[in-house]
Amino acid sequence: MKRFLFSVITLLLAVVTFAQPAADRILGTYKAKFDKNDAKIKVFRHDGGYRMQICWLRVTQNPDGTLKTDAKNPDKRKRSTPMNEVVLIGHVTYEDGIWKNGQIYDPKSGKTYKVELRLKEDNILEVRGIVGPFHKSFYWTKIQ
């Protein structure tokens, strides 16, 4: 009887653990190229949606040895933010297999664009920046 009860509890825990909502499949850490620099991007729940933030950069300094910062941010208060802490995508929401209704920020130019995200495979995220009828896609690989 104890063995049966233990098996049932283990099975229930496994079902609860693996039965995450479809929208949460995006959660994790991704490897990406960012402005010719290797980067890791953390995807997490935030304020009723999902947010993507740089959590690691291979190169964190400029050629002159100074710390890379978000120097072109239109919000002057954020220009001293280290590049390895910049929020790239904010508040996307999930609908019909697509994370959308958010914006992607390009620290290289300081501009933001409409964004849509799709999981192409369990570990490949398509990040699509959109301007009018045009778009450019990037592919991030999930590592965690």
Domains of the chain (ranges, CATH numbers): 23-142 (2.40.128.520)
How far lies 45's CA from each of 48, 55, 96, in Å? 7, 15, 18
pTM reported for the whole predicted model:
0.81
Q: How many CA atoms lie within 13 A of 83 on its CB side?
A: 22
- The stretches in the chain having pLDDT less than 50 are 4-6, 8, 11-19
Could you give the CA distance from residue 82 to residue 3 in angstroms, rounded to a whole number?
Answer: 54
pLDDT score recorded for residue 33: 87
Residues β-bridged to residue 127? 117, 138
